[in-house]
Every structure is written in structure tokens, then in C-alpha cells.
Amino acid sequence: MKAPKGKYAWTATVGEKGQIVIPKQAREIFGIKPGDTLLLLGDEKRGIAIPPQNTLTHLFGAAFPAEEEDQ
């Protein structure tokens, strides 16, 4: 079965220290480099999500919009 364009699935094994290795193809597709900080979102019913890197900036901007300067 061929995956729809732009859709992927990988597996990762959790090590003794709770660490996972992100598969190389996933790191390449999403531009994940050593030292990057990833945002993990969790929902007990739906699972864990690792959104794209720009999501943290977007969420921060939505939570703390820039104040308009006095005119």
C-alpha cells in the first residue's frame, strides 16, 4: 500500500533513558538537526505529536501577540 503524498509513518524504539532516535528520513524531510529543540504535545487519548519546528514560534506568537505601539 502506497502512502498518500506528504504522509509518512516511522517507528522509534525508546531506550533505557527514555530517549528515542528520530529516523534519518524524518530528520531530513523536516530539517531536524543535532541541538534542535522539539515541541512534544501529548493527549492521553490521542497520543503524542511532534509538530513542525515553526509551530513553537507560531504558538508563542499567538499566546503573546505583539502590542501595538501607541499612535
pLDDT of amino acid 58: 78
- Residue 19 within any structural domain of the chain: no
- Show the cell assigned to 6: 506528504
State how many domains the chain has: 1
pLDDT digits (tens, 9 = 90+) for 22-51: 999 999 999 999 998 888 889 999 999 888
Q: Give the pLDDT score at 40.
A: 87
- Residue 38 in domain: yes
CB 6 within 8 A of CB 22: no
The three grid cell numbers given for residue 68, joined into one nine-digit string: 501595538
Q: What is the pLDDT of residue 68?
A: 60
Does 8 reside within a domain? Answer: no
pTM of the shown model? 0.66
Question: Would you say residue 29 lies in a domain?
Answer: yes
Residue linked to cell 514560534:
57
Beta bridge partners of 49: 41
